[in-house]
Amino acid sequence: MTTVASPCFSFLIKILLYVSLLCLLCVVHGADEITVPVSSLFPSPNCKASTSNVNSTVKLVHKHGPCSPLFQGEPVNHTQLLLEDIARVEWIESKYSGADATNSPKDSAVSLEAKYSPNAAGYFVTIGVGTPKQDLTLLFDTGSALTWTQCKPCAESCSEPIFDPSRSSSYANISFSDPSCLLLRSGTGHKPLPSGSTCSYRATYLSGAYSEGFFATETLTLSPIDAITRFKFGCGQKSEKIKGFAGLLGLARDEISLFGQSATKYGRSFSYCLPPSLSSTGYLTLGTGSRTSASVSFTPLITIPRRPLFYGIKITGISVGGKQLDIEETVFSTANTVIDSGATFTRLPTKAYDALRSAFRQGMLKYKMSDPTPTLDTCYDLRGSTSITIPRIRFSFSGSVEVDLDPRGVLFGTNEKMCLAFAPSHPNTDLSIYGNVQQRTFEVVYDVAGGRIGFRAKGCS
Active site residues: 141, 340
Distance CA 367, CA 66 (A): 30
The candidate with the shortest Cα–Cα distance to 336, out of 308, 301, 305, 309, is 305
What is the C-alpha separation between 101 and 91, in angstroms, rounded? 10
Q: How far is CA 94 from the centre of its chain?
A: 19
In this structure, are residues 36 and 387 in contact, taking their beta carbons and an 8 Å threshold? Answer: yes
CB 374 within 8 A of CB 299: no
Distance CA 239, CA 228 (A): 26
In angstroms, the CA 308 to CA 303 distance is: 6
**Residue 309 carries which side chain, given as an amino acid letter?**
L
Q: What is the 3-state secondary structure (H, E, C) of the chain?
A: CCCCCCHHHHHHHHHHHHHHHHHHHHHHCCCCEEEEEHHHHCCCCCCECCCCCCCCCEEEEECCCCCCCCCCCCCCCHHHHHHHHHHHHHHHHHHHHCCCCCCCHHHCCCCCCCCCCHHHCCEEEEEEECCCCEEEEEEEECCCCCCEEEECCCCECCCCCCECHHHCCCCEECECCCHHHHHHHHHHCCCCEEECCEEEEEEECCCCCEEEEEEEEEEEEEECCEEEEEEEEEEEEEEECCCCCCEEEECCCCCCCHHHHCHHHHCCEEEEECCCCCCEEEEEEECCCCCCCCCCEEEECEECCCCCCCEEECEEEEEECCEECCCCHHHHHCCEEEECCCCCCEEECHHHHHHHHHHHHHHCCCCCEECCCCCCCCEECCCCCCEEEEECEEEEECCCEEEECCHHHCEEEECCEEEECEEECCCCCCEEEECHHHHCCCEEEEECCCCEEEEECCCCC
Q: Which of 264, 182, 167, 178 is nearest to 219 (CA)?
A: 167
